């Protein structure tokens, strides 16, 4: 939906470092003349502090209306309290496919060079279904849910995505030796979609514990990873560690209608309010959002803005302009300014 030449997009700044990194993204989008108008809404602790529900109806309705959102991280209490806003959003909007590209960046030296992985995570089922029971005072239980329809849906999505991106191989990480029914179903669905529709894409399966070891020994043996919900969550952070950490890994959650773009990282309470968070992961998520707007709405200006911002942040990093998590000394605002200073002319 375009208003006076701008795409209306929901912005949820989020909690902790969320408002700081969101502000940096807004500044960079303004400097890059990205054709986006932010419709700001709250969720999470920010919503509760404003006397609203943790996921206010107005926030949900705005995403349903505009179909695209950029979301900062939302805090979830540990071991008590409300259900994660992130999980609720993914379920309510049926955002069943999460995409997390993990790539080496110029000027960020890590153990491996040229890491180029894409993590595809099923976003609606597994242990994240939140079906937990207290059986007795001392016994609790959590239900892992897998359905043929959701496992088949994410498998189709993954193979279609890999084909469109000209990726060569999909590896499923699983634990079907132990969880024979749930992970077994996930594997059967992935195999079936591979064999019947995408035989030209190389398909492999790895038991997740060994897969993690192989990943940290040599990530170049992997290309696209397909994982159920919890495994996708854990392996995303593991892979982030290969390219510089959580400050540099973006993400997107797709359904058939809406798409919500967000960094892999959380609200980072340990550094919140200090002005030192790396805004790059949210900025890269916002660049993914621009490419999505370009692809779904045919607006070339979004593609141009995405390319200019990417060129600018690559150049900033190559010039040694970095936040502390990457070994530099810039704060959030100074790093955003370093990016703006390197935006190529229109
Ligand atoms: P976290 O991702 O917030 O932080 C882990 C570590 O990475 C911390 O040391 C933090 O300082 C660092 N870090 C994260 N992002 C950074 C950035 N942009 N720049 C520099 N350093 C960064 O994970 P944690 O501490 O386990 O979770 C904190 C809260 O975030 C929890 O309430 C959790 O539920 C929530 N969370 C929310 C997510 C979301 O909204 N999508 C995703 C993950 C966690």
Judged by DSSP in three states, 193 sits in helix
Ligand 1 atom closest to residue 263's alpha carbon, by position in its atom list: 41
Check residue 97 and give its pLDDT.
98
Looking at residues 223-232, what average pLDDT do you find? 98
Looking at residues 224-238, what average pLDDT do you find? 98
Give 266 Cα–ligand 1 centroid separation in angstroms: 3
* Same fold? 1-104+246-346, 111-242: yes
Q: At 12, give phi and psi (nearest 5°).
A: -110, 105
Domain ranges for the chain: 1-104+246-346, 111-242
Q: Extract the tokens encoding 217.
A: 């020994």
Q: What's the CATH number for 1-104+246-346?
A: 3.40.718.10
Task: Evaluate: CB of 278 within 6 angstroms of ligand 1.
Answer: yes
246-286 pLDDT, tens digit per residue, is 999 999 999 999 999 999 999 999 999 999 999 999 999 99
Give 193 Cα–ligand 1 centroid separation in angstroms: 35
Q: Are 226 and 171 in contact (CB under 8 A)?
A: yes
Ligand 1 atom closest to residue 75's alpha carbon, by position in its atom list: 32
Task: Evaluate: CB of 246 within 6 angstroms of ligand 1.
Answer: yes
Q: At 204, give phi and psi (nearest 5°).
A: -135, 160
Give 92 Cα–ligand 1 centroid separation in angstroms: 23
Name the closest-CA residue to atom 41, ligand 1.
73
| Pairing label, strands 2-3, 252-254 | unpaired
Q: Are 261 and 292 in contact (CB under 8 A)?
A: yes
Q: Is the pLDDT of residue 2 over 80?
A: no
Please report how the helices 280-297 and 300-318 are oriented relative to each other, as an axis angle in degrees rounded to 10.
Answer: 160
Alpha helices, DSSP H only, in the chain? 18-31, 45-49, 57-66, 85-92, 148-164, 182-197, 208-217, 229-243, 280-297, 300-318, 332-340
Q: Are 246 and 256 in contact (CB under 8 A)?
A: no
Looking at residues 292-315, what average pLDDT do you find? 98
- With a pLDDT cut of 70, the percent of the chain lying above it is 99
Check residue 281 and give its pLDDT.
98
How many C-beta atoms surround the C-beta of residue 208 within 10 A? 21
Q: Is the pLDDT of residue 1 over 60?
A: no
Judged by DSSP in three states, 143 sits in strand
Which of 20, 246, 248, 272 to probe ligand 1 with, by most ligand atoms within 8 A of CB?
A: 246
Give 244 Cα–ligand 1 centroid separation in angstroms: 14
Which of 266, 286, 335 to probe ligand 1 with, by most ligand atoms within 8 A of CB?
A: 266
pTM listed for this prediction: 0.97
Q: What share of the chain is helix, strand, coil (3-state, %, to 5)?
A: 45, 20, 35
Q: Please report the sign of the dihedral spanned by the C-alpha atoms of residue 52, residue 53, residue 54, residue 59.
A: negative
Residue 179, Cβ density class (10 Å: 0-12 exposed, 13-18 middle, ≥19 buried): middle
How many C-beta atoms surround the C-beta of residue 2 within 10 A? 12
Q: Please report the sign of the dihedral spanned by the C-alpha atoms of residue 169, residue 174, residue 176, residue 180.
A: negative
Structure-token match 């940290």, residue found: 216
Which one-letter DSSP state was computed for residue 295?
Answer: H
Check residue 83 and give its pLDDT.
87
**What is d(CA 135, CA 139) in angstroms, rounded to the nearest whole number?**
5
Looking at residues 184-212, what average pLDDT do you find? 98
Angle at 113 between CA 108 and CA 118, to 5 degrees: 95
169-192 pLDDT, tens digit per residue, is 999 999 999 999 999 999 999 999
Q: Is the pLDDT of residue 3 over 80?
A: no
Whether domain 111-242 has CATH 3.40.50.970: no
pLDDT category at 129 given cuts 50, 70, 90 is confident
Q: Extract the tokens encoding 157.
A: 């999505």
pLDDT category at 10 given cuts 50, 70, 90 is very high
Task: Evaluate: CB of 171 within 6 angstroms of ligand 1.
Answer: no
């Amino acid at each position: 939906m375009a208003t006076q030449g701008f795409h209306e997009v929901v912005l949820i700044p989020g909690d902790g470092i969320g408002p700081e990194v969101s502000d940096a993204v807004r500044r960079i989008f303004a400097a890059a003349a990205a054709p986006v108008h932010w419709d700001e809404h709250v969720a999470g602790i920010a919503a509760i502090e404003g006397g609203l529900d943790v996921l206010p109806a107005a926030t949900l309705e705005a995403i349903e209306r505009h179909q695209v959102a950029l979301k900062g991280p939302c805090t979830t209490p540990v071991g008590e309290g409300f259900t994660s806003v992130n999980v609720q959003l993914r379920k309510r909007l049926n955002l069943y496919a999460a995409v997390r590209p993990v790539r080496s960046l110029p000027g960020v030296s890590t153990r491996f060079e040229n890491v180029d992985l894409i993590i595809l995570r099923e976003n609606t089922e597994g242990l994240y279904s939140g079906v937990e029971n207290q059986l007795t005072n001392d016994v609790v239980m959590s239900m892992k849910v897998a359905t043929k329809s959701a496992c088949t849906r994410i498998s189709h999505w993954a193979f279609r995505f890999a084909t469109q991106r000209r990726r060569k191989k999909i590896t499923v990480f699983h634990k079907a030796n132990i969880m024979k029914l749930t992970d077994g179903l996930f594997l059967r669905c992935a195999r079936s979609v591979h064999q019947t529709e995408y035989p030209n894409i190389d398909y492999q399966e790895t038991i997740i514990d060994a897969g993690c070891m192989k990943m940290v020994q040599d990530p170049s043996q992997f290309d696209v990873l397909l994982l159920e919900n919890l495994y996708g969550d854990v392996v995303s952070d593991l892979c982030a560690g290969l390219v510089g950490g959580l400050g540099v890994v973006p993400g997107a959650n797709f359904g058939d209608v809406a798409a919500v773009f967000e960094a892999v990282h959380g609200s980072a309470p340990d550094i919140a309010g200090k002005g030192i968070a790396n805004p790059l992961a949210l900025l890269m998520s916002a660049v993914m959002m621009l490419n999505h707007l370009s692809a779904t709405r045919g607006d070339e200006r979004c593609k141009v803005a995405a390319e200019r911002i990417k060129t600018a942040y690559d150049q900033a990093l190559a010039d040694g302009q970095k936040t502390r998590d990457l070994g530099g000394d810039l704060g959030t605002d100074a790093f955003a300014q370093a990016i703006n200073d390197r935006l190529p002319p229109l």
